[in-house]
Structure 1
Amino acid sequence: MPEPELPEPELPEPEVLAPSFYDRAHAVHRLWREGGGVRHARFPGAAGIEGWVVTGYDDARRLLADPRLSKQDAVQKFGRRTGRTEGPGEALFTHMLNSDPPQHTRLRRLVQKAFTARRTAALRPMIEAHVAALLDEWEGREEAELIGEFALPLPVAVAFDLFGASDADHEMLQVRGNTLGGGRGDGEVSVFTAEHMHAYLGALIALKRENPDDGMLSALIAARDEGDALSADEITSMAFLLVVAGHQTTVNLIANGVHTLLTHPGSLDALRADPSLMPGAVEEILRYESPSGLASLRYTTEPVTVGEATVPEDEFVHIGLLGANRDPAVFADPDRFDIRRENASKHLAFGHGIHHCLGAPLARLQAGIAFTALLERFPGLRLAEGHEARWQANPRHRGLLELPVRLR
């Protein structure tokens, strides 16, 4: 006589977090890490993010490289499950952050031929010029809003210069959907922004095919590997990833970094006295106030055990970078900001494994140049009186909504 089939075990109901989560995100991640490191949670806000959150450093690092956690078509899966998408169509989904090997291997190999360390290092004079131009606008002023007037336009301008876009296009395509986007403040790219960027990038790619230059877009078009090349959709998707989605990391890195330095005057004074500390300061900012709260989308292809919990198949797993980067098992006194911390670069802010952020060197370069110029040009820089940090209502992006500063 056959044994009766046992019913599938019921999943625990997710912990539904209050909107105040974003103002105490570090404390919540710490409680989760100390309570076993895995929590089934539903985050507040319009993004609709729910899943299993992993907060310990060792588990996070291991799972970031675990092939049982898939990224293949994860954006589409997220859209179907939540009833929303993060863009207007397949042409913007064929990128490395939405694929597994062998597709990911092929895409990364081709893109790396264009996104070289030498090409990134050669961008320094261009980035310095953009930083200087933005800060020139502040001369004679007493105050500024650092995100909208500096941290946001800088990486957009750099990206479009990287692609060989015209100066007029810089003004037309200031990407504002990633910060206050229509007042939502959830850090997501609006479909309106995505559709316009899709159309614009398609036209720019067509132009570069006919008139190639030394920019990255032309390099992506020309990239070859044993006769293989990127398709038009793949080039569009990669460009979109860098300009619209990827630049949010740099915006948050710059804004979070300035906020952190201004609230730690001892570190600020040390940097002014010894600029050689800047590379270490950038790494510590990435660790202490990671520009991403959660790593990009992943889902289980089979049951995966993390600590004492087993995450079922076909569930989203969110790697909690905030918790991992302040794990005392790796970082001594982790809630202390220390620009001389010797192992700060072990942070996971840019991921780990095959999906480690290809644009990390560019983000670091922009941040270091931005911080250095701000400290040199405005020695009296400080937070505006009465400013209280308010954070984007999205667990994936750890970014301030605004950063008003006094310049003198």
Structure 2
Amino acid sequence: MQWLKTLPRKKSKDRKPLGEKNERGGHKARNGDAIPLMPIGVAADMGFDRNGTPLINPKLFDSLEFSRNPHPYFKIMRDHYPVYHDHLHNVYYLTRYEDCRRSANDDLAFNTIPKGRASTVLGNAQLELSGVEHRRRRGLYDRHLVGQALVKRQHSIESIAKKLISDWEKPSAKGVVQEEGSRSIELGAAFCNEFPVRVVASVLGLPEEAQAKFLYWYQSMMAGFGGSDTAKQGLQARQDLEDYVEGIVEKRRKKPTFLYDSEGNVTGEDIISMLCRTRIDNDFLSTEEITSTIALLVGGGGDTTRGAIMNMWYLLLLHPGQLDAIRKETSLWISAFQETLRYAVPAGASQPKHTTYEVEVAGKRIPAGSLVLIMNHAANRDERVFQSADKFDILRKDLHVGKMLRNGVNKDGQRSHLGFGVGSHFCPGAHISQQEAVVCSKILLEHFKTPKLDLQRCKKDIDGKSPAPLGELAISELWIKCPA
């Protein structure tokens, strides 16, 4: 692996354990002064070695501080422990951009993905496939999610967005508070929770009357990645989805349904019809294969897109000058979306891998069969690649925002964000996710006119200031105030 650079290792005797705790729960520095506990968003006290190098306590990865804002800790890891072995959980973390990008592109050394709850809830999940089986499954639908296939679907996406916005006028509208001369809109409940799922359901070819059920199944399956109780809910939702899919498979094999453009012209079969009629080695895909493929597309096209739209609008409302720039040049919506995926990736923060043989990354040996987490959201803040990486800037010149790159680097050496992953497991819904976010945001801005962040209504995180997160990466709700 020629790209790897060997770095000098620190001897274990150079490291000191965490110091004696003080009365506030912090530790003492080498000079005996008490180091106070740091607030959320600042690297907390974990002690130092004799050279003054910050130490990493593996218990950190289970802490609320880390889940709310891991970036101060990622900086320590990038600077001092680019390959960190968490002995407590027996996991290797990669945090520098180039190490992450190259490792994710190396399917020989980092080939298989560990089996996990995705298989339990989603079935034979493509996220956990590799090699021939992965290419076989992905090849079934890739061409339907890029290029002209997306252009033909723009009218449908616009129609779904406008329909959801028109519902805000109803007295029973969710997430809408009418006031004299203005209204406050909770973007999640009023729009983002449904919009991406309805778009994906339309592309898949689900009947409109089934989309409400589909939304419930999707939300239940996503919740199924939590504890044992939610896993049961996720399993039941998946079974209900499979029962539904089984009922339409035979119908679609005999009589496929089609997608249409704005003029009523047929643009091709919907994805479910295509999957139902596809043969591999003269055999139709099984209902289980079709169901797990549908679940994957909904997860990638629904959950990620929801979080990306919410995060993007929150960041733009915090930086009104950048929103003004978009008003003047609407093509900057693509830059805003790409910068959001770099700065605040809403899902897929890491790519889990297993090493197929012993490898060496940044001077540290990783044994064969080790669990490795390629930390994409840490790589996205690497100052070695992105100048002022902790700054949200849709006009930055060091981020590739053109055609999406599966290998993470263009011919001029410019790097893309790793928010959609990289390599063979690059997110299959990346292109349609961007299209959804850009199309709906143009329509939303026209409707909002002069939007303001209504932070008082937002559920607060534990810092009492920023919106509370949904899980770890996307905010749970976003209230926006605008003229009525």
TM range (shorter): 0.7 to 0.9
Instruction: Find the partner of 2:245 among 198, 201, 207.
Output: 201
Structure whose residues are more often strand by fraction: 2
Q: Structure 1, residues 30-55: CA drift from partner, whole Å, max 9, x if none?
A: 22212222234599xxxxx9732211
Instruction: Find the partner of 1:173 among 214, 219, 222.
Output: 214
The percentage of aligned residue pairs carrying the same residue is: 28
Segments of 5+ residues of structure 1 without an aligned counterpart are 1-11, 44-48, 79-84
Residue aligning to 2:354: 299
Query: Which sits farther off after the overlay, 361-370 or 291-300?
Result: 291-300
AA at the equivalent of 2:198: A
Q: Superposed, which structure 2 residues align to 1:142-221 within 5 Å?
A: 142-174=183-215, 175-177=218-220, 190-213=234-257, 214-221=269-276
AA at the equivalent of 1:51: V
Q: Superposed, which structure 2 residues align to 1:14-93 within 5 Å?
A: 14-17=58-61, 18-41=63-86, 51-67=91-107, 68-72=109-113, 74-75=114-115, 78=116, 85-86=117-118, 88=120, 92-93=122-123
Deviation at 1:344, TM superposition (A): 2.2
Contact 1:114–1:219 under 8 Å retained in 2:
no
AA at the equivalent of 1:249: T
Query: Within 2, Cα distance between the matches of 1:138 and 1:42?
Result: 51
1:120 maps to 2:190: no
Residue aligning to 1:381: 451
Segments of 5+ residues of structure 2 without an aligned counterpart are 1-55, 171-177, 258-268, 401-415, 459-465
State how many pairs are aligned: 377
Contact 2:387–2:398 under 8 Å retained in 1:
no
Residue aligning to 1:6: none
Structure 1 332/244 Cα, relative in aligned 2: closer, same or farther at 3 Å? Answer: closer
Q: Relative contact order: is structure 1 or structure 2 higher (C-alpha 8 Å, sep ≥ 6)?
A: 1
Structure 1 254/384 Cα, relative in aligned 2: closer, same or farther at 3 Å? Answer: same
AA at the equivalent of 1:389: P
Query: Within 1, Cα distance between the matches of 2:479 and 2:141?
Result: 37
Contact 2:355–2:367 under 8 Å retained in 1:
yes
Structure 1 380/33 Cα, relative in aligned 2: closer, same or farther at 3 Å? Answer: same
TM-score (norm 1): 0.82
Q: Secondary structure at the match of 2:474?
A: coil
TM-score (norm 2): 0.70
Contact 2:111–2:355 under 8 Å retained in 1:
yes
Contact 2:146–2:431 under 8 Å retained in 1:
no
Query: Within 2, Cα distance between the matches of 1:168 and 1:111?
Result: 24
Residue aligning to 1:320: 375
Contact 2:221–2:237 under 8 Å retained in 1:
no
Deviation at 1:150, TM superposition (A): 1.4
AA at the equivalent of 1:285: T
Contact 2:84–2:92 under 8 Å retained in 1:
yes
Residue aligning to 1:9: none
AA at the equivalent of 2:275: L
Query: Within 2, Cα distance between the matches of 1:54 and 1:182?
Result: 23
Query: Within 1, Cα distance between the matches of 2:479 and 2:86?
Result: 33
Contact 2:309–2:437 under 8 Å retained in 1:
yes
Q: Structure 1, residues 218-252: CA drift from partner, whole Å, max 9, x if none?
A: 12233467867644332221111011455211111
AA at the equivalent of 1:206: E
AA at the equivalent of 1:66: D
Query: Within 1, Cα distance between the matches of 2:442 and 2:221?
Result: 25
Structure whose residues are more often helix by fraction: 1
Q: Secondary structure at the match of 1:194?
A: helix
Residue aligning to 1:368: 438
Query: Within 1, Cα distance between the matches of 2:165 and 2:134?
Result: 39
Query: Within 2, Cα distance between the matches of 1:111 and 1:302?
Result: 32
